[in-house]
């Protein structure tokens, strides 16, 4: 099976702009979680989607949002970008059905200038 894929891999934006990141899970996986990774804060949970519904959310401002489509692909949107949003954004998928192991994508490196 193909692994988790994320597009784009690299992105440069300016403050105030918005950005949309995409994640395609492993075939058959219905849960997608998003994480922000920074050198200072490590890996921080943003939210989890299952069957097009957000089931859980981390402690991030409302500028961070997401959605999931019927084919389990997920998008994450950040509006009004701030310099502090520069990070590696990782998504991870898991099959559910009692299975908790999740598999990460390669990430999208977002730089806000």
Partner 1 sequence: GENVEQHPSTLSVQEGDSAVIKCTYSDSASNYFPWYKQELGKRPQLIIDIRSNVGEKKDQRIAVTLNKTAKHFSLHITETQPEDSAVYFCAGGRGGSNYKLTFGKGTLLTVNP
- Nearest approach, Cβ of residue 63 and partner 1 (Å): 20
- Nearest approach, Cβ of residue 45 and partner 1 (Å): 6
Nearer to partner 1, 43 or 83 (CB): 43
Q: Which of 1, 10, 59, 70 binds partner 1 (CB under 8 A)?
A: 59
Interface region with partner 1, contact rule CB under 8 A, candidates 8-16, 65-73, 75-83, 92-100: 92-100
Q: Is residue 103 within the footprint of partner 1 (CB under 8 A)?
A: yes
Q: Which of 55, 71, 77, 113 binds partner 1 (CB under 8 A)?
A: 55
User: Are the C-beta atoms of residues 48 and 35 closer than 8 Å to each other?
Assistant: no
Q: How many CA atoms lie within 13 A of 52 on its CB side?
A: 3
Residue 39 per-residue DSSP state:
T
Give every CB contact of residue 95 below 8 A, 6+ residues apart in sequence: 26, 28, 29, 30, 31
Tokens representing residue 98 in the block: 């009692």
- Footprint of partner 1 on 7-46 (CB under 8 A): 31, 33, 35, 41-45
Q: Is residue 100 within the footprint of partner 1 (CB under 8 A)?
A: yes
Omega within 30 of 0 (cis) for the link into 8:
yes
């Amino acid at each position: 099976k193909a692994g988790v894929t994320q597009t784009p891999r690299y992105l440069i934006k300016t403050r105030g702009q918005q950005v949309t990141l995409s994640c395609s899970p492993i075939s058959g996986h219905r849960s997608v979680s998003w994480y922000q990774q920074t050198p200072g804060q490590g890996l921080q949970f943003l939210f989890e989607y299952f069957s097009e519904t957000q089931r859980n959310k981390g402690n991030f401002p409302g500028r961070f949002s997401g959605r999931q489509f019927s084919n389990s692909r997920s998008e994450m949107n950040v509006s009004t970008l701030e310099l502090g949003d520069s990070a590696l954004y990782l998504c991870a998928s898991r099959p559910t059905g009692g299975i908790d192991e999740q598999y990460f994508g390669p990430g999208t490196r977002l730089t806000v200038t």
